[in-house]
Amino acid sequence: MAAVLKVSCADQLHRVVLAEGCITYEAVLGAIQRLYPNELPAVKYLDHEGNLSTLCQATFSDFINISGENSGKKILKVSLIVEKPGVRSGVFEGLSKEDSGFRECIEGHRKQRSEHSSSPQVPKMPTEHRFSKHQARSQKRAQDECRKFEGLWHMKEYYNASKDNRDKKEFYSTLHRECPSLSSGQDGVLRTTTPMGRRNFWAIHNLLNQDLQLQCRSNYDESWYDRQPNGEVRCIYSNELLSDCHGNYVEDVYNPKTGKIDVNVEHTFPAHWKARLSNVGAARDPHNTFTSATSSNGARGKLPFGRVPPELCPWKSGKHQGPEVHGPFLKHFEGDENGKLKRTMLEPLHNKGLIAREQLYMLVTYPVVAKASNLEGLPLEWLVDTARHEPVTLFEKHRNQAIYEVQYNRNPFIDFPEWVDLVDFTEGLRPDDCDPYIPAEFLGLTGKQKKVRRQEIEAGMTKMQIRERRERMKTEQVAPREDLIRERKLRALQ
């Protein structure tokens, strides 16, 4: 059996194919040395208890036994820890001589904590020292992103249409045989009036999850996935420039008050909607993560997207007013028949088609995660209508193909926008009465209270017992969702 060796070091991930019969300790070390010829890293792996163990000749058999398989290949995962001079004082890199007081402050805190280990309280650093710390981290982040961009931009082709078409044909080959309505381009009335829409939904769901290998959500967002054809990175919501065509952050993204870079990862399908279903893995899917300005991310919050009507609309105070500008969005307060506030929605001013197609992808790939009250009605109608009429851009095609090369699944509504009329997306909505299971000991507790209670319960347990208990709780938590998915799949196939 052949094997794929995945080597992670800092923010880099390499894949090396080991031929059948060459899966030996010497072969693994040789592959690592070819990747990092000038380094002497410590090679670590996760053992069966979830602890980092050192890979050596004595532990190699254990390393092979706990490694999983995928598509007939052994998957070997290792992490490299490179010891460099001054690594413990890495936080001081980039600081000027004037910031020596900050260095002394930190070293004093370390000495104090080593002498008084029973007292974990660390004195709060002065504001100017915290600013220098953030400034140093921002400088390192900018250097890392520029380095990754240079390595990817000049080595990889931005978009290859012929390769993309070949990959699409191969990826959807089984789906076209199972669902003839998708390949024949039948009328979109199938979506809501016949069981065909439900059958198409679950067929696409099975295909997207068949070979899914989720990656770290932000490894390549800024440096490759989110690069425009000219090499720039722009905010998904406001379309403002964040990084230029040379991989450097623009001056406007540096916060002069905190020293931080005001650029972060945005989940267009809000993480809050799936907060209590975190082990579903949706938060890690790069199809769902985009580079965004911090201000635009904060303006979005967890509100659903929808169409803001041009006419006057009811507001939460009961009065009537037009749409309100809210950052890079139009804000709309939807009222019920009595004039009371029913739901607040946002309409993005940029990248509408990209956002709509991504959210429909999330509904199909991770069904029964979003509550029906968030997306049913106007928001879902807006998503379908926008995904169908907004043209697919070259940026979307590049992003879809780039993610497919590492995650092995695609967004079908970028490849075939007309499919949105042939799928019943209500199958992906979770009824409001289908909440995740909560253990009895956590009922009525806040986040901090739950943490304290969990620490009390796990105080006398071993690491293995704690891990087993948490895995069992996760399984129980998503049990109502899994039951509903099985029920809907059976109904669609009848």
Q: Averaged over 432-452, what is the pLDDT?
A: 76
User: Do residues 89 and 17 touch, judged by C-beta distance below 8 A?
Assistant: no
Instruction: Determine the straight-line distance between the first and last CA of the chain, rounded to whole angstroms.
Output: 40
Q: Is the pLDDT of residue 184 over 70?
A: no
How does the average pLDDT of the chain come out, rounded?
78
More confident residue, 106 or 289: 289
Give which of 311, 314, 373, 310 is closest to 339, Cα–Cα.
314
- With 70 as the cut, is the pLDDT of residue 118 above it? no
Q: Give helix then strand counts, H and E, for the chain.
A: 18, 15
Q: What are the angstrom distances between the C-alpha of 319 and each of 127, 303, 335, 346? A: 45, 21, 11, 19
Mean pLDDT on 117-123: 42
Phi/psi at 325 (5° precision): -75, 125
Judged against a pLDDT cut of 80, whether residue 342 lies above it is answered with: no
Residue 28 sits at the vertex; the CA angle it makes with 26 and 29, to the nearest 5 degrees, is 65
Residue 251 pLDDT more than 80? Answer: yes
Nearest to 63 by CA among 185, 54, 172: 54
Please determine, for residue 167, whether its predicted confidence score (pLDDT) is greater than 80: yes
Determine the length of the chain. 494
Q: Is residue 329 within 8 Å of residue 348, measured between CB atoms?
A: yes
Distance CA 206, CA 414 (A): 18
- pLDDT for residue 104: 53
User: What pLDDT sits at residue 413?
Assistant: 96
* Cβ contact 54:41 at 8 Å: no
* Confidence at residue 310, expressed as pLDDT on a 0 to 100 scale: 60
Report the 10 Å Cβ neighbour count for 59.
Answer: 15
Residue labelled with tokens 């080595």? 155
- Mean pLDDT, rounded, for 108-119: 48
Angle between helix 352-365 and 196-210 (nearest 10): 90
Report how far Cα 333 is from the mean position of its chain's Cα atoms: 29
Chain segment 363-402, per-residue pLDDT in tens: 999 888 888 888 888 889 999 999 999 999 999 999 999 9
Q: Is the pLDDT of residue 255 over 70?
A: yes
Residue 70's Cβ-side half-sphere holds a number of Cα atoms within 13 Å equal to: 15
Rounded CA gap, 281 and 274, in Å?
9
pLDDT of 452-472, one tens digit each? Answer: 888 888 888 898 988 888 888
Mean pLDDT value across residues 58-74:
82
* Range 113-117 average pLDDT: 48
Please choose, from the candidates 200, 256, 231, 240, the residue with its C-alpha nearest in 3D space to the C-alpha of residue 328.
240
Residue 205 has pLDDT above 80, yes or no: yes
Q: Which of 53-62, 132-141, 272-281 has the highest mean pLDDT?
A: 53-62
* Residue percentage of the chain with pLDDT more than 70: 76
Record the tokens describing residue 74, joined without a space: 């052994």
